[in-house]
A and B are shown apart, each in its own frame.
Chain A
């Protein structure tokens, strides 16, 4: 009796596996219209036009974006502007600059704010234009936007002496393109 039950259970499991495989096969046969293709664009680090800083090294930039550095050389407080979690620009920063996961970054800021090492939490904005306008309005703000979203209301910083257009610029954002 016990052997029969095991056999039925095995058959059931096999049928389930078969169904899954069949489904997967069926899915592979018809193409998905939302299948993402990826384009790559440079990610510009922008500051207010009144900011005297023109260039930063990657390590300095990392320190600023981690909240380890709180003031600009002119004494103005640094305000970090970020995109919402999940946005390609944020993923790029996490990958290329922070080299952290989303969770690690959250933990870092929670810890810093709790200990008082970080004075102000980063500002989270929903759009690139929002980031750009924020930086335009706040003299001590620093943020990141795709190069295509940059205009003359803000200043683009050199990172490791390279502008986003230059060859060898490291901050690149992968943007999904829907067909």
Chain B
């Protein structure tokens, strides 16, 4: 019981891996380029992000320098000129010469103008509430100091030195101290701002580095996954091809073994003298002929596939009527169709244009389709062969459509994408022990494409299938085809 469970689990896992591989393979076949484009886009996005982060860090650093460093310089200048204002005022105290005193008064007023302008500038630049409050306080304290300074200056110029000193000590000094304190506060705020901005720059830089590492890591991971997936897809493809080839060899061996066994047995019977009498010999002859023909057909098909595969086949293109093609196909399959008890119903629309192609190849193509219809046609034993005219897929001209229709078992939807793959055989028909090489449809499709046309299929389980050979009408390619018909053309030249 446990062993069975384990076996079931292993089977389920195997199925899952197989499904995953199949999905991966399908995705990669369709989207390998897209994945590479995605990786490229990822790298481009990473580059853009890095550039953006670098610009952001640069801008922050510039901003920090402009606002904070220049702010500190401005605060330093304010402090200097405030000291100059006071120094010049006090210098006026040191002399009795009115001319010198007036000169010092000029100096102190020049300096105080610069401080007043600096404070106005600081107030204009202030953004934070703390800065605005400080700017207002500084402006107020400075105005108060200037009021006292003017009084002191007036007293000095009047010659009232004692009064000037007294006024300065009582009002000027404390007032100037408040201004100094405010200016120190301005400096401190700029310092704090600079530190904050520096921290922001560091944080931005760190964030950029992390983002860079993250995105690079992600891109690296995606690249690895893409490369792994591509390699795995190739490996799966190779394995599938090897498996198909093995199946092909097994299938061909099996297909050969049955007629060989019959031939062998017939030959033994004849050699051992067990076959006597004309009717008996005729029966054996028929069997040997049928089996030989079957083997011959199989070998022909393999050789044809090989020649198509190595692109060495040469075709003779000529203008062909549809009836010509259909008659040739019907002739080559008549024995098979009738021998299998099938009825082939042919319907050809009037006024069909001629097509250009190789008669032998087109006959082979239809022969394969009719052979499949016989093989999978089921109990109704009916095959339809219809020829009609339609507009080509690109809408550029007309085409001739030759359909081979049966009412047999139909094709599973999951098998439809693979039926034209070489060596592919549906698990359903393998289980039903319907013999085949898996080359017929692949060959038919290649021939159709080589003739400049296409092969399409519409099928429904238990309702039947309809394979349509699309061939471009001769009018469209008349000039090309005339020249093509003049000489044999190899596949490699198509």
Task: Kindly state whether residue B102 has any CB partner on chain A within 8 Å.
Answer: yes
Q: Are B105 and A139 in contact (CB under 8 A)?
A: no
Among B105, B153, B154, the most chain A Cβ lie within 10 Å of the Cβ of B154
Interface flag for B414 (CB, 8 Å): no
Q: A125 contacts B158, CB within 8 Å? A: no
Residue of A nearest to B98 (CB): A123
Stretch of A12-20, A52-60, A129-137, A169-177 that contacts chain B: A129-137
| Distance between Cα atoms of A137 and B154 in the complex (Å) | 6
Q: Which of chain B's residues have a CB closer than 8 A to the CB of A127?
A: 99
Q: Does B157 contact A (CB under 8 A)?
A: yes
**Which of A126, A133, A138 touches B158 (beta carbons < 8 Å)?**
A138
CB pair B98–A134 under 8 Å, yes or no, is yes
CB pair B98 A137 closer than 8 Å: no
A120 to B158, CA, bound (A): 8
Instruction: Tell me the smallest distance from the CB of B85 to a CB of chain A, in Å.
Output: 14
Q: Say how far A109's CB is from chain B's closest CB, in angstroms.
A: 14
Inter-chain contact A130/B158, CB cutoff 8 Å? no
* Cross-chain contact A138 with B157 (CB below 8 angstroms): yes
Q: Is A67 an interface residue (CB 8 A)?
A: no
Q: Mark A137-178, 1 if CB is under 8 A from B, else 0.
A: 111110000000000000000000000000000000000000
Digitize B101-132: 1 where CB-to-A-CB distance is under 8 Å, 0 elsewhere.
01001100000000000000000000000000
User: Measured between alpha carbons, how far is A124 from B105 in the docked complex, in Å?
Assistant: 16
Interface residue A77 (Cβ < 8 Å from any Cβ of B) = yes
Which residues does chain A contribute within 8 Å of B159, judged by CB atoms?
A: 79, 120-121, 123
Query: Is the beta-carbon distance between B102 and A130 smaller than 8 angstroms?
Result: yes
Within 8 A of A (CB), among B128-166: 150, 153-154, 157-159
**Chain B interface residue bracket vs A:** 10 to 19
The closest CB in chain B to the CB of A131 belongs to: B102
Question: Which chain A residues border B99 with CB–CB below 8 Å?
Answer: 125-127, 130
Q: Which residue of A121, A124, A126, A137 contacts B157 across the interface (Cβ within 8 Å)?
A: A137
Q: Inside 8 A of B150's CB, which chain A residues have their CB?
A: 137
A133 to B106, CA, bound (A): 8
B98, B105, B106, B158: the one within 8 Å of A77 (CB): B158
Q: Name the residue in B102, B105, B153 with the highest tally of chain A Cβ atoms < 10 Å from its Cβ.
A: B102
**Whole-angstrom CA separation of A71 from B105 in the bound complex:** 23
The interface residues of chain A lying within 8 Å CB-to-CB of B98 are 81, 123-125, 130, 134
**B residues less than 8 Å from A137 (CB atoms):** 102, 105, 150, 153-154, 157
Determine the distance from Cα of A126 to Cα of B99 in the docked complex, in whole angstroms: 7
Question: What CA separation (Å) do A174 and B45 show in the bound complex?
Answer: 87
* Complex Cα gap A127–B105 (Å): 15
B105 / chain A contacts, CB cutoff of 8 Å: 133, 137
Query: Smallest CB-CB separation from A129: which chain B residue?
Result: B102
List A contacts of B154 (CB < 8 A): 137-140
Per the bound structure, the CA–CA distance linking A45 and B86 in Å amounts to 31
CA distance A134 to B105 in the complex (A): 9
Determine the chain B residues whose CB is within 8 A of the CB of A133 once the complex forms: 102, 105-106
Contact B102 A79 (CB under 8 A): no
- Chain A residues touching B, majority SS: mixed
Q: Give bound CA distance, A109 to B150, whole Å.
A: 28
Question: Shortest CB–CB separation between residue A155 and chain B, in angstroms?
Answer: 16
Across the interface, A140 reaches (CB within 8 A) one of B102, B106, B153, B158, namely B158
- Residues of A within 8 Å of B157, CB to CB, are 79, 123, 134, 137-138, 141
Per the bound structure, the CA–CA distance linking A89 and B157 in Å amounts to 21
Report the bound CA distance from A120 to B153 in whole Å. Answer: 17
Contacts A125-B99, A126-B99, A130-B99 given: A79-B158 contact, CB under 8 Å? yes
Interface of chain A residues 88 through 142 with chain B (CB within 8 A): 120-121, 123-127, 130, 133-134, 137-141
Nearest-Cβ distance from residue B79 to partner chain A, whole angstroms: 25
Residues of the B chain whose Cβ atoms lie less than 8 Å from the Cβ of A140:
154, 158
Which of chain A's residues has its CB closest to B101's CB? A134
Instruction: Please give, as numbers and ranges, the residues of chain B lying within 8 Å of A120 by CB-CB distance.
Output: 158-159
Nearest-CB distance from A79 to chain B (Å)?
5
Chain A contacts with B in 10-43, Cβ cutoff 8 A: none
The docked-state distance in angstroms from the alpha carbon of A126 to that of B105 is 16
A29 to B106, alpha carbons, bound, how many Å?
50
Residues of A within 8 A of B106 (CB): 133
- For residue B177, give the distance in angstroms from its CB to the closest CB of chain A: 24
Most buried by B among A126, A134, A137, A141: A137
Separation of A155 and B100 alpha carbons in the complex (Å): 23
CA of A79 to CA of B402, assembled, Å:
127
Q: Which of A77, A125, A139 contacts B102 (CB 8 A)?
A: A125
Identity of the chain B residue whose Cβ is nearest the Cβ of A132 in the assembled complex: B102
Alpha-carbon distance A77/B151, docked complex (angstroms): 13
| Distance in angstroms between the alpha carbons of A124 and B100 in the assembled complex | 11
Give every chain B residue within 8 A of A126 (Cβ-Cβ).
99
Q: Tell me, rounded to whole Å, the shortest Cβ–Cβ distance linking B88 to chain A.
A: 12
How far, in angstroms, from A10 to B99 measured CA to CA in the complex? Answer: 56
Say how far A137's CB is from chain B's closest CB, in angstroms.
Answer: 5
A121 proximity list for chain B (CB < 8 A): 159
Docked CA distance A133–B296 (Å): 130
Closest CB in chain A relative to B224 CB, distance in Å: 82
A145 to nearest B CB, angstroms?
Answer: 13
Q: Which B residues are CB-close (under 8 A) to A139?
A: 154
Minimum CB–CB distance for A132 against chain B, Å:
9
How long is the Cα–Cα vector from A123 to B150 in the complex, in angstroms?
Answer: 18
Q: Which residues of B contact A (CB under 8 A)?
A: 98-99, 102, 105-106, 150, 153-154, 157-159
CB pairs A–B below 8 angstroms (12 shown) = A79-B157, A123-B157, A125-B98, A125-B99, A125-B102, A130-B98, A130-B102, A137-B153, A138-B157, A138-B158, A140-B158, A141-B158
Closest 3 CB pairs of A and B: A123-B98, A138-B154, A138-B157
Extra pairs beyond A123-B157, A124-B98, A130-B99 (15, CB < 8 Å): A79-B158, A120-B159, A121-B159, A125-B98, A125-B102, A133-B105, A133-B106, A134-B98, A137-B102, A137-B150, A138-B158, A140-B154, A140-B158, A141-B157, A141-B158
